[in-house]
Amino acid sequence: MTFENSKYAKQIAYKKIELPFGNFYVTKQFVISELNEGIHVDHMIAGEIVSRFSEEIRKDIKIGYIANRINPYSFDPQLWVDFNNEYDFLVASAVVSYTDFSYLNSSIEKHFFSKSMKRCRSLGEAILWMNDLSEFNQN
């Protein structure tokens, strides 16, 4: 289910960012990505995403990332290693998989990401997990 068609789009304030390869929904605590079918996320696309969010990165804002994989696409898991070495603004990541193949791929990616990564079967599961992270609930 897309974020905009979910009940969460009515409950959570967000800003939509449309890029040639997919949509991003920026909330106070996390970003949800919904990438287009058939793309391959490589260094060029990852660089464009980081560039688009560079202002937030410079402000040292800590956020979570939810990959809502409503479409099949490929992802170079080595990007997580490079990302871990260069940036520290992500608190955690969740991958929402709607097929067994996508879930298996996210299991492989999990080994490359140095922070917490949860594999989820629904967008709701990912959002609830992200909202419960202690990094966002410190008073």
- Looking at the chain, the whole-number percentage of residues with pLDDT higher than 90 is 54
pLDDT digits (tens, 9 = 90+) for 84-112: 777 777 889 999 999 998 888 888 888 88
d(CA 81, CA 73) in angstroms, rounded, equals 19
Whole-number average pLDDT of the chain: 88
Q: Which of 14-18, 111-115, 120-124 shows the lowest per-residue confidence on average (mean pLDDT)?
A: 111-115
Higher pLDDT, 134 or 117: 117
CB atoms within 10 A of CB 101: 10
Q: What is the pTM of this model?
A: 0.90
Judged against a pLDDT cut of 70, whether residue 48 lies above it is answered with yes
Give the C-alpha separation, 94 to 118, whole Å: 5
The per-residue pLDDT for range 54-71, each reduced to its tens digit, is: 776 666 778 899 999 999
CATH number 3.30.750 given to 8-136: yes
